Amino acid sequence: MSRQAICLGEILIDCFADQPVQTVAAVKSWSSLPGGAPANVACGLAKLGTAVEFIGAVGNDAWGEALLRLLQDLGVGTRGVQQHPTAPTRQVLVLRDQKGDRSFAGFSGADPEMFADASLNGAAINPELFSQAQLLVLGTLGLAYGATRQAVRRCLQLAQAQRLKVFVDVNWRPMFWPQPAAAPGVIHDLLVQAQFLKLSAEEADWLFGTVSPAEIRARLPRLEGVWVTAGAEGCAYWLAGHSDQLPSFEVDVEDTTGAGDGFVAGLAHQLCQHGLSGLRNAQTVRQLVTYASAVGAITTTRPGAIAALPSAREVEAFLYLQ
């Protein structure tokens, strides 16, 4: 089966505190859900009908086995998934307050480098995966760790050799970085190799000092598309020479987890379907971004991330009703 997209990066377990507390010690029970932005995007693509392969690393443990089964059950290719013999699958601990707002509280181990996703082996990645793809989608968290950073570089080389387009979702999470101050320079080295870039408004301001997609594109002339998202305020974009802003859809929000990943999945799905050659006029470009916004909006109406991601039929029905 040919793979139209490859998602590269972390797949992990998000552990949410069931009680509103201020410390991990006060948590009486946790609810565990699959997560990791690149894995969420891969699952979103599969649900929308785009063939996709996932490259990442999990532990040779119960959580790793469960995540592998989940990908397979959703139709995501797992030939690129490695199981580390000793490093465990990463578990992220998340607290919530009385209002329901969530905050990062650490990992299931003290050292952020101790987990399997920090030790992705670039030499073990099969180049054949890239001969059957047209788009490589990745985040930046893997760049925080030496081994995975080398694996990312190898994947970029393989993508370039096969003329794949590279789509980066910055997804800045300082707690993953042993040395957060090094992140901007390392991330910039990745962005100069990308054709598509998605950032939140906060990430755009942090990396570029502007939230204007056109200004960001001017600094990175290889980019063919830039999206800057602002949650409920919608997004601004520059794509194939067309620049505009799009308001968000008004929906009853239950859980914002995975909304940005749904947006990226929607964009990647549309790019795989149409390619840049199909984006010659402003209306078509706006329709592409509208589709992605719909995927993100639907995702917020249900709990969880992967479970909340919609099918193509659900997105079509949503857009019809809108």
pLDDT number for residue 3: 63
Looking up tokens 């601004």 gives: 236
Q: Supply angle C-alpha 273, 276, 281, rounded to 5.
A: 105
Cβ atoms of 126 and 80 closer than 8 Å: yes
Q: How far apart are CA 291 and CA 263, in angstroms?
A: 8
Looking up tokens 């320079």 gives: 185
137, 130, 15: which is closest to 79 by C-alpha?
130
Q: How far apart are CA 4 and CA 31, in angstroms?
A: 33
pLDDT number for residue 120: 98
pLDDT number for residue 304: 81
Cβ atoms of 138 and 7 closer than 8 Å: yes
Select from 3.30.9.10, 3.40.1190.20, 3.40.50.300, 3.40.50.1000 the CATH code of 5-321.
3.40.1190.20
Q: How far apart are CA 122 and CA 317, in angstroms?
A: 41
Q: What is the signed CA dihedral for 47, 51, 57, 59, rounded to 10 degrees?
A: 50
Reported pTM? 0.96
Give domain limits for the chain: 5-321
Residue ranges of the chain with pLDDT lower than 50? 1
Q: How far apart are CA 10 and CA 82, in angstroms?
A: 11
Cβ atoms of 48 and 74 closer than 8 Å: no
Torsion angles phi and psi, residue 24, rounded to 5 = -60, -35
Q: What is the pLDDT of residues 128-141, one digit of tens each?
A: 999 989 999 999 99
Q: How far apart are CA 238 and CA 221, in angstroms?
A: 12
